[in-house]
């Protein structure tokens, strides 16, 4: 984090380097555009090759899960189908991803027939997680132009704590010339119990809040700086990590507005209880009532529940259609549902 302030200055320079005539030209063509923002936990998207640097032994052909090329490419195809239709039959414009083993599986995902000719490309953030699972950002090449990125390290408490996933921070331009800052998260799991594991998510919340405050300081505060946070937080919007430490809620009083905090449903189901573990959080600037500014489309926050993403029979009918239940292969795309919302950009051509 020691170089973070210099990185922010660099982003600010690039933001002010956009010629004024380009911005003026965009303003003269107020066609408008709704940007689809999404997040998806891919549920252990591992390849079938043994990587001696990480603990991927569960996802090898000789493992108890019997993970093989047929199952791998079946999963890739189903994930690609979900992503390809997420935006009313099209791909999303910006999509955070988590729980993939490496950059190679991202390349394989985008090579699937459903995505091969799509306008999506990616930025990948490797981590030191013992299992090798990473985060990434998919983005529409003509609707988001990255200008800077940073991989933020989350330092967990305790001398013996294992490393966790990094937070991917990407700053870029949308067609209007405005800058968006995207932060993709995958916070530490609940393994070991909710209460015992909570300090790890508190550490992630503090790291994320520090990055948000730095962006606010550089870009004129929460009413001017446009931030989108996506992730699997392994906590709900009502938990202390998000509501108190990160400071995201339905009022936006601390600069972060949480559109999922007051709606029913969820992205993950456990023991018949749906929870919003996967979420998208916005800076207060995107809650503007001024329709000439970029703003959140009220009521657009949701989990996508296409039939192909849900189990259609059995004890867990209606649950997310997962790839594995324990060691039993089910063959679904993921045990999480993708979440999404829309940002209206009035000045986007």
How do residues 173-218 score in pLDDT, each as one tens digit?
A: 999 999 999 999 999 999 999 999 999 999 999 999 999 999 999 9
Q: How confident is the model at residue 257 (pLDDT cuts 50, 70, 90)?
A: very high
Residue 4 lies in a domain: no
The predicted model scores a pTM of: 0.92
Give the pLDDT score at 150.
98
Instruction: Using pLDDT thresholds of 50, 70 and 90, give the confidence band for residue 162.
Output: confident
* pLDDT at residue number 289: 84
Give yes or no for residue 13 having a pLDDT over 70. Answer: no
What pLDDT, on a 0 to 100 scale, did the predictor assign at position 158? 87
Q: What is the pLDDT of residues 208-253, one digit of tens each?
A: 999 999 999 999 999 999 999 999 999 999 999 999 999 999 999 9
22 domain-assigned: no
Range of the domain at 206: 29-345
Could you tell me if residue 188 is inside a domain? yes
**Phi and psi angles of residue 278, each rounded to the nearest 5 degrees, phi first:** -95, 130
DSSP state of 277: -
The residue that leads in pLDDT, 14 or 38, is 38
2 assigned to some structural domain: no
Identify whether 24 is part of a domain: no
**276-322 residue pLDDT tens:** 999 999 999 999 888 899 999 999 999 999 999 999 999 899 999 99
In a domain, 8, yes or no: no
Q: Cα dist. 170→3, 82, 122, 134, 211 in Å?
A: 15, 24, 11, 15, 11
Tally of domains within the chain: 1
- The answer to whether residue 13 sits within a structural domain is no
Predicted local distance difference test score (pLDDT) of residue 73: 98
Share of the chain above pLDDT 70, in %: 91
Residue 345 phi, psi (nearest 5): -115, 95
d(CA 81, CA 75): 10
Question: Which residue's structure tokens are 């997040």?
Answer: 39
> For the domain that residue 289 is a member of, what is the CATH number?
3.60.10.10
Position 178 in a domain: yes
Look up residue 285 and give its DSSP letter. G
């Amino acid at each position: 984090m020691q170089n973070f302030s210099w990185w922010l200055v660099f982003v600010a320079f690039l933001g002010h380097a956009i010629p004024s005539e380009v911005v003026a030209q965009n303003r003269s063509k107020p066609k408008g555009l709704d940007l689809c923002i999404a997040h998806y936990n891919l549920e252990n998207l591992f390849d079938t090759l043994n990587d001696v640097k990480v603990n991927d032994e569960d996802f090898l052909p000789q493992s108890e899960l019997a993970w093989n090329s047929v199952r791998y490419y079946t999963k890739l195809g189903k994930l690609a189908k979900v992503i390809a239709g997420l935006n009313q039959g099209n791909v999303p414009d910006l999509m955070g991803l988590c729980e993939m083993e490496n950059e190679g599986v991202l390349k394989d995902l985008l090579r699937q027939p459903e995505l091969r000719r799509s306008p999506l490309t990616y930025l990948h953030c490797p981590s030191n997680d013992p299992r090798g699972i990473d985060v990434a950002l998919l983005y529409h090449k003509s609707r988001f132009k990255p200008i800077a990125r940073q991989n933020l390290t989350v330092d967990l408490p305790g001398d013996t704590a294992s490393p966790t996933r990094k937070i991917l921070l990407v700053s870029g331009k949308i067609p209007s010339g405005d800058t968006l800052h995207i932060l993709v998260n995958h916070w530490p799991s609940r393994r070991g119990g909710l209460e015992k594991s909570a300090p790890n998510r508190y550490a992630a919340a503090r790291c994320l809040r520090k990055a948000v405050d730095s962006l606010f300081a550089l870009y004129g505060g929460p009413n001017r700086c446009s931030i989108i946070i996506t992730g699997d937080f392994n906590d709900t919007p009502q938990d202390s990590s998000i509501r108190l430490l990160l400071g995201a809620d339905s009022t936006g009083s601390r600069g972060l507005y949480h559109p999922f905090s007051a709606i029913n449903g969820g992205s993950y189901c456990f023991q018949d209880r749906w929870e919003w573990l996967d979420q998208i959080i916005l800076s207060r600037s995107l809650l503007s009532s001024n329709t000439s500014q970029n703003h959140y489309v009220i009521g657009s926050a949701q989990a996508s529940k296409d039939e192909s993403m849900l189990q259609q029979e059995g004890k867990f009918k209606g649950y997310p259609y997962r790839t594995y239940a324990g060691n039993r292969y089910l063959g679904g795309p993921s045990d999480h549902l993708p979440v999404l919302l829309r940002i209206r950009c009035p000045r986007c051509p």
